[in-house]
Amino acid sequence: MELLRAQNVDKRFANHLALDKVNISVPENSIYGLLGPNGAGKTTLIRIINRITAPDSGEIFLNGRPLHPDDVHNIGYLPEERGLYKKMKVGEQALYLAQLKGLSKHDALKKLKFWFEKFEIQAWWDKKVEELSKGMQQKVQFITTVIHEPKLLIFDEPFSGFDPINANMLKQEILDMKANGATIIFSTHNMGSVEELCDHITLINKSKNILEGQIDEIRNRYKSNIYEISFHGEIDKLEGSLNNHYEVVKKLKVNGKNAIQVKLLHQTNENELLSLIIPSVEIISFNEVMPSMNDIFIDVVNENKNK
């Protein structure tokens, strides 16, 4: 089931084309990565989904129908640029923002108590926002983003300013929200987080979609037929067993053991590779090397530059 769709969305600011017939389809109950270099158009698309700005052409659909102004109540948005009022007290501000999102004062206080206890930040309630570190402020803004339990959550660089412990805590919260039925659009430059969290991605560059699909399918699409072999024995002896159907890509150590990366050439396969090396060394492990999303991001963006 599709929760959100952007269809042929165009947006221009003066002489700059920010979005050029961009399409995305976000499945319900998924974590969807919206990726791209700085200035690619990601934030513009997020602002259009949140009705902060309007497209010049194209349309946004939610649950199969055109996005309506009231739909913003079903969306939680954590922007990259945080927007808390520095002079207000944390609790006062959190309560105000929760009520803006449609919660009664009673329900807002109840939910805020739950989240403040969960994040162990009860002592911050009467502090001013300006007294908090950037990471602490992000915890507060995260709470105010999710407090009304919206169907769609949009996080733009949510881990910025967090130490690894708090980043992992937030990742687990995001996974828990998905498990409880939420759909999440997740924009980040951290490709490690994309691999950990995302089911699908769209990569935008120069205002256009240039790559989209399921994470596993994309990584499989860009694999290079490279295999890593960890073994007991001599690398020279293993290399000597290979013929011209295989290329040695890299020699390395894995957990103190000799290892080698080999690229399959022509129409050869892994079984043929194994049959060549088994007589020469004792194999500890044999794995296909899949490309990281970081490598794919760089390769696809660089390839797009030349078009």
Arithmetic mean of pLDDT, 115-135: 91
Residue ranges and CATH numbers for the domains of the chain are 2-220 (3.40.50.300), 224-289 (3.30.70.1150)
The pLDDT value recorded for residue 57 is: 96
Burial class (CB in 10 A: 0-12, 13-18, 19+), 37: middle
Q: What value, to the nearest 5°, has the Cα angle with vertex 149 and ends 145 and 154?
A: 45
The pLDDT value recorded for residue 80 is: 83
pLDDT score of 63 more than 90: yes
Per-residue confidence at 65, pLDDT binned at 50, 70, 90? very high
Give one DSSP letter per residue of the chain, joined into a string: -EEEEEEEEEEEETTEEEEEEEEEEEETT-EEEEE-STTSSHHHHHHHHTTSS--SEEEEEETTEE--GGGGGGEEEE-SS----TTSBHHHHHHHHHHHTT--HHHHHHHHHHHHHHTT-GGGTTSBGGGS-HHHHHHHHHHHHHTT--SEEEEESTTTT--HHHHHHHHHHHHHHHHTT-EEEEE-S-HHHHHHH-SEEEEEETTEEEEEEEHHHHHHHT--SEEEEEEES-HHHHHHH--TTEEEEEEEEETTEEEEEEEE-TT--HHHHHHHHTTTSEEEEEEE-PPPHHHHHHHHHHHHHT-
Rounded to whole angstroms, the Cα distance separating 181 from 46 reads: 21
Contact 155, 184 (CB under 8 A): yes
The pLDDT value recorded for residue 294 is: 93
Q: What is the pLDDT of residues 216-257, one digit of tens each?
A: 999 999 998 899 989 888 877 777 777 777 888 888 887 778
The pLDDT value recorded for residue 249 is: 87
Of 35, 66, 37, nearest to 49 (Cα)?
A: 66
The pLDDT value recorded for residue 307 is: 65
Query: What number of residues does the chain have?
Result: 307
Torsion angle of C-alpha atoms 113, 115, 118, 120, degrees rounded to 10 = -70
pLDDT score of 73 more than 90: no
pTM metric for this prediction: 0.88
Q: What is the pLDDT of residues 171-211, one digit of tens each?
A: 999 999 999 999 999 998 889 899 999 999 999 999 999 99
Q: What is the pLDDT of residues 269-292, one digit of tens each?
A: 888 888 888 888 889 999 999 999
Tokens 């990259």 belong to: 80
Q: What is the pLDDT of residues 146-158, one digit of tens each?
A: 999 999 999 998 9
